[in-house]
Structure 1
Amino acid sequence: MDHQINLERGEESVGTWISIGSPAVAEVTASLDLDFVAIDVEHTTIGLETVENMVRGIEATDSETASIVRVPWNDNVYLKRILDIGVDGVLVPMIETAEEARELVEAVRYPPAGGRGIGSGRASEYGSNFQNYVENAEDSFVTIAQIESQRGVENAREIASVDGIDAIFLGAADLSGSLDVFAEWESDVLNRHIEQAVAISDEVDIPIGTLVTDKGGIERRVRQGFDFFAVGKDTAVLADGTNEMIAEYERAMEEE
């Protein structure tokens, strides 16, 4: 438990995205040369017990790959239950205001600094490390606010400045929809907003990350100045890899 994620401004960190609810997929992925694995429970049917077993799969490897879970919403009850599993970070979608960012921080901090319910779960080694965990929990995971709307970018400076927000994560797909240029990755208006968020993160001195699911988009995002990346998504990599094998099979059959 408690792998440290290097999310310092100006430092490089790379992970990948998992949406298949399988401990084996999590374990195989975490065994690669990655700093973190992001488990998506916002747009999947992955439940809490599966998340727990996926985290076990990640921790079973010899690597230092950390676990980040994107939760469905800025929900204090769900956040409490995810953190009790002992994850290394939480990624919370659709943060649009500083007030929402403060609510997020309130949800992940124990009293008196916050309102997280105190209980003995896996994170505290089922109670055997209870007092020490509660006293030091804030240092054992990162709190990442996902900005993915025009309103969120407009309020990015205030969001990034909230004490307790460790990093921000730019969701380009939802942002493109918010700007009425969905999936138009070359759009000037989309890239202006992305670059505005990156510039603000630089000024506030907080790391900013993003997800890139196609190889062609990595260079652009690197040039734009992101600090950490989730590169690739398990379902897309599975489909692309299988299609490549099918194409190779068809080529070989044509030569017969």
Structure 2
Amino acid sequence: MDDLHDTVATWTSLSDPAVAEMAAGAGFDFVVVDTEHAPLGLETVADCLRAVEAGGGASMVRVPWNDPVRIKRLLDLGPDALLVPMVGTAAEAREAVAATRYPPEGERGVAAARAADYGRNFESYVESGHRDLSVVLQVESAEAVENAAEIAGVEGVDALFVGPADLSASLDVFAEWSDEAFLEAVEEVLDAGEEAGVPVGTLGTTTEQIRALGSLGFDYLIAGADFTHLVEGQRRALEAADEVL
């Protein structure tokens, strides 16, 4: 995946690949497929990635945890980017990067999986192709904010992502996007990213949240989520029906 500066993505958590396909065809720069807080198994993720490709989009998969086994199994499916949650230190950042790289640079297990076109591009993928993967780390705790400059400076980190819900909860100001503590934390992460030349993004699930967070100076945005689109669409339809009945 190319540089994330000035890109807009969307978020998917629902298990039907048609949802990912529709998201990819909507004009977003990439589609996030979530496996941290969504009941998606490996087979479903693989189908969602195929659906994103069918829709002409690029894909980012969020892993459940900074765990090399979980990372390895998802990378074998061939996403364009990886989103790793709850990275709090530079050491954890290095562990995440190492899990995406083959030896001698890292510790990823070698296999002729979908990412290597089922073995047709096996040698070239292992030698260099796997490095095309973008590694994005989530900054979503007070500890991570304190270490943001060191995290951003780790070789192989392509972008940072502020998890607004977890970060605000960590600061004891949950969902208070204009609270001074939250704003100061965001500014500190943005400064760290700018100094390291690493883009910093965030997620807004509603139009109000997208506008509130997007105005803080982020380099890229994940705008909206499949479940919120469904919920909001239902709400608007119900309100319209109630008005005319």
Aligned to 1:211, the other structure's residue is in SS state strand
Deviations along 1:141-181, whole A, 9 cap, x unmatched? 10001010000000000000000011010011101111111
Unaligned runs of 5+ in 1: none
Task: Choose 164-173 or 217-226, whichever is displaced more.
Answer: 217-226
Work out whether 1:224 is the aligned partner of 2:223.
no
Q: For the residues of structure 2 that align with 1:188 and 1:160, how far apart are their CA atoms?
A: 23
Aligned residues: 245
Identical-pair percentage:
46
Partner of 2:86 in structure 1?
94
Work out whether 1:213 is the aligned partner of 2:205.
yes
Deviations along 1:60-91, whole A, 9 cap, x unmatched? 12x2x211011000010111111110100000
Task: Choose 193-202 or 218-227, whichever is displaced more.
Answer: 218-227
TM-score by length of 1: 0.93
Aligned to 2:11, the other structure's residue is in SS state strand
Partner of 1:73 in structure 2?
65
Partner of 1:19 in structure 2?
13
Runs of 4+, deviation exceeding 4 Å: none
Partner of 1:233 in structure 2?
225
Whether the 8 Å contact between 1:29 and 1:37 is mirrored in structure 2 is yes
TM-score by length of 2: 0.97
Residue 6 of structure 1: how far off its partner (Å): 3.3
Whether the 8 Å contact between 2:177 and 2:213 is mirrored in structure 1 is no
Residue 242 of structure 1: how far off its partner (Å): 1.0
Alignment root-mean-square deviation, CA: 1.1
Residue 204 of structure 1: how far off its partner (Å): 1.3
Partner of 2:240 in structure 1?
248
Work out whether 1:163 is the aligned partner of 2:163.
no
Q: Among residues 26, 43, 50, which one is paired with 2:44 in the alignment? A: 50
Residue 36 of structure 1: how far off its partner (Å): 0.6
Q: For the residues of structure 2 that align with 1:164 and 1:144, how far apart are their CA atoms?
A: 9
Once the two structures are superposed, the pairs formed by residues 187-202 of structure 1 within 5 Å of their partners are 187-202=179-194
Q: For the residues of structure 2 that align with 1:172 and 1:85, how far apart are their CA atoms?
A: 28
Q: Among residues 139, 142, 150, which one is paired with 2:134 in the alignment? A: 142
